[in-house]
């Protein structure tokens, strides 16, 4: 009996070591916090699944991983069933994309994910079956060298890191894309995504795009003329460097309106370009026209809501028409239930619109009160505390409580814009030396672990 038990344990250990060696979403050390998973699930849904999307298999594959992780966190079978469905759809999508019924290296990550999922579910025979499929593909399509992965794996890993991660990982994604491109230089979608990863990384760290990246964007745009998302990013980068792009932006707007609805249609960066470099009114017109054509699309409602919020909460205050404020409130009240698990920031925006327009102070207090009582991840709490501190200062004139919430945000040991911003505000208050809490702030900052 002891020998049988030892043999079973040894077999389980061997299986796990083989699984750990796979290239899979389960082995890529991805941020699997609940809030991140819900936000990413919704972002992937908003990309859409239009026929011809070269990343369709990758979208389904990542959705499978996300739903499995949510099922593990919430102990809900429904998420697990969704995970199985998405992994199955990923397999089909890869076959369709490559126009073959045969397996190829593009399925290595998908089969690795299936091997991991069945292992976690205790279905060891199925896990070993997919593990065998992976090993057969690796034997049939060996990597160029021991130190390099198959280009299909590099591309999928890069695409995943673009979605999950921020500055450093986005730069790593660009590097993975470059490695894949060196091996298969004819894959235009990889070249485009590499440039988008670079642009996204620099945007996150607030660095100005260099002339070299702008030149790469221009070349990528010529190679991939149908990618309107890249075209919008390119115009925005040119405008930021002083180029007048108004006419090109209007032409691009007409093209975007004719595209199927997707977060990669180019609408969101184009609206950002309009608001900053063309005109706020034209941004409204573009958002409203998109909604008019597709009145039930949640992503378009979300884009329109952002336009209204930007105008209402702009530092350059305009005389606000009541109809404008009412429209903004109406849009946010529509959008929030459409993203029930990833609307923290939208709820905060709605509260701030209520408060800063003096529309409904009680509603603003109620929203913040409910959010402060809700079950949030540390990063979400940090963001909420930072926003609430500003709300208390600017809308409630409660400086002491505002300071207390900036301290609460800074206490959470997560690197983020919101933590930095709260620390910056605390330092400003201390340096002005007008608050009775300056001593407490000084002591707190002296003991703070950066």
pLDDT digits 0-9 by tens, 307-327? 999 989 887 666 788 999 999
- pLDDT at residue 204, rounded to an integer: 65
Q: How far is CA 258 from CA 232, 254, 272, in A?
A: 15, 7, 19
Give the pTM.
Answer: 0.92
What per-residue confidence (pLDDT) applies to 104? 96
User: In this structure, what token pair is assigned to residue 301?
Assistant: 């409602």
Q: In this model, does residue 3 exceed pLDDT 70?
A: no
**Of the ranges 29-38, 81-90, 147-156, 220-229, which one carries the lowest mean pLDDT score?**
29-38
Q: Distance between CA atoms of 258 and 245, rounded to whole angstroms? A: 20
User: Is residue 236's pLDDT more than 80?
Assistant: yes
Rounded to the nearest 5 percent, the helix, strand and coil shares of the chain are: 75, 0, 25
Q: Give how far Cα 137 sits from Cα of 102, 103, 125, 323, Å.
A: 11, 8, 19, 61
Q: How far apart are CA 118 and CA 84, in angstroms?
A: 9
Quote the mean pLDDT of the chain.
92
Arithmetic mean of pLDDT, 194-208: 82
pLDDT band at residue 391 using 50, 70 and 90 as cut-offs: very high
pLDDT confidence of 249, banded at 50, 70, 90?
very high
Region 118-131: what's the mean pLDDT? 96
* Tokens found for residue 79: 């998420």
Report in angstroms the alpha-carbon separations of 416 from 37, 205, 300, 381, 419: 18, 11, 28, 12, 5
Work out the average pLDDT over 156-160. Answer: 97
- Report the distance separating Cα 86 and Cα 341, nearest Å: 19
What is the 3-state secondary structure of 378-425? HHHHHHHHHHHHHHHHHCCCCHHHHHHHHHHHHHCCCCCHHHHHHHHH
Q: Is the dihedral of CA 351, 353, 354, 358 positive or negative?
A: positive
Model confidence band, residue 4 (pLDDT cutoffs 50, 70, 90): very low
311 closest CA partner among 252, 269, 357: 357
CATH 1.20.1050.10 fits 13-142, yes or no: no
If you average pLDDT over residues 404-413, what whole number do you get?
Answer: 96
Predicted confidence (pLDDT) at residue 302 exceeds the cutoff of 70: yes
Query: What are the DSSP calls for 88-152, one per residue?
Result: HHHHHHHHHHTT-SS--GGGHHHHHHHHHHHHHTT-HHHHHHHHHHHHHHHHHS--SSTT---HH
Q: Is the pLDDT of residue 5 over 80?
A: no
Quick: pLDDT tens for 352-362.
Answer: 999 999 899 99
6 has a pLDDT exceeding 90: no
- The reported pLDDT for the residue numbered 438 is 93
Give the per-residue pLDDT at 290: 97
Asked if residue 1 has pLDDT above 60, the reply is no
Angle at 339 between CA 333 and CA 341, to 5 degrees: 120
* Per-residue pLDDT at 209 exceeds 90: no
Q: Are 112 and 134 in contact (CB under 8 A)?
A: yes
Question: What mean pLDDT is predicted for residues 419-440?
Answer: 93
């Amino acid at each position: 009996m002891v020998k049988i038990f030892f043999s079973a344990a040894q077999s389980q250990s061997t299986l796990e070591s083989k699984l750990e060696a796979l290239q899979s979403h389960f082995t890529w050390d991805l941020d699997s916090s609940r809030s991140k998973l819900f936000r990413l699930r919704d972002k992937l849904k908003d990309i859409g699944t239009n026929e011809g999307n070269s990343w369709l298999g990758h979208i389904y594959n990542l959705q499978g991983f996300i739903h499995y992780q949510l099922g593990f966190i919430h102990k809900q079978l429904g998420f697990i069933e969704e995970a199985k469905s998405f992994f199955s759809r990923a397999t089909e999508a890869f076959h369709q994309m490559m126009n073959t019924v045969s397996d190829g290296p593009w399925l290595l990550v998908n089969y690795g994910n299936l091997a991991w999922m069945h292992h976690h579910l205790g279905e060891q025979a199925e896990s070993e079956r997919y593990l065998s499929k992976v090993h057969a593909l690796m034997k049939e399509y060996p990597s160029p060298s021991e130190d390099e992965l198959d280009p299909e794996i590099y591309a999928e890993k890069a695409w995943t890191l673009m979605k999950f991660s921020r500055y450093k990982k986005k730069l790593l994604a660009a590097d993975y894309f470059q490695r894949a491109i060196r091996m298969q230089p004819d894959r235009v979608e990889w070249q485009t995504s590499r440039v988008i990863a670079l642009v996204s990384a620099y945007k996150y760290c607030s660095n100005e795009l260099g002339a070299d990246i702008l030149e790469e964007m221009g070349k990528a745009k010529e190679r991939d003329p149908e990618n309107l998302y890249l075209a919008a990013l390119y115009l925005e980068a040119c405008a930021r460097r002083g180029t007048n792009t108004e006419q090109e932006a209007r032409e691009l707007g007409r093209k975007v309106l004719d595209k199927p609805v997707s977060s990669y249609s180019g609408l969101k960066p184009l609206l950002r370009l309009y608001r900053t470099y063309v005109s706020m009114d034209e941004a409204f017109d573009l958002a409203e026209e998109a909604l008019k054509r597709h009145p039930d699309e949640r992503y378009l409602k979300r884009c329109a809501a952002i336009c209204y919020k930007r105008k209402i909460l702009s530092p350059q205050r305009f005389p606000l028409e009541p109809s404008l404020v009412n429209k903004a409130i109406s849009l946010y009240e529509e959008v929030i239930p459409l993203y029930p698990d990833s609307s923290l920031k939208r709820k905060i925006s709605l509260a701030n619109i209520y408060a800063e327009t003096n529309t409904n102070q009680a509603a603003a207090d109620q929203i913040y009160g409910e959010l402060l009582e809700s079950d949030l991840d540390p990063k979400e709490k940090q963001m909420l505390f930072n926003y609430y501190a500003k709300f208390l200062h600017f809308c409630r004139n409660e400086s002491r409580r505002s300071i207390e919430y900036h301290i609460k945000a800074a206490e959470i040991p997560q690197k983020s814009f919101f933590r930095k911003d709260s620390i910056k505000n605390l330092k400003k208050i201390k340096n002005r030396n007008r608050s009775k809490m300056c001593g407490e702030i000084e002591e707190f900052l002296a003991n703070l672990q950066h």
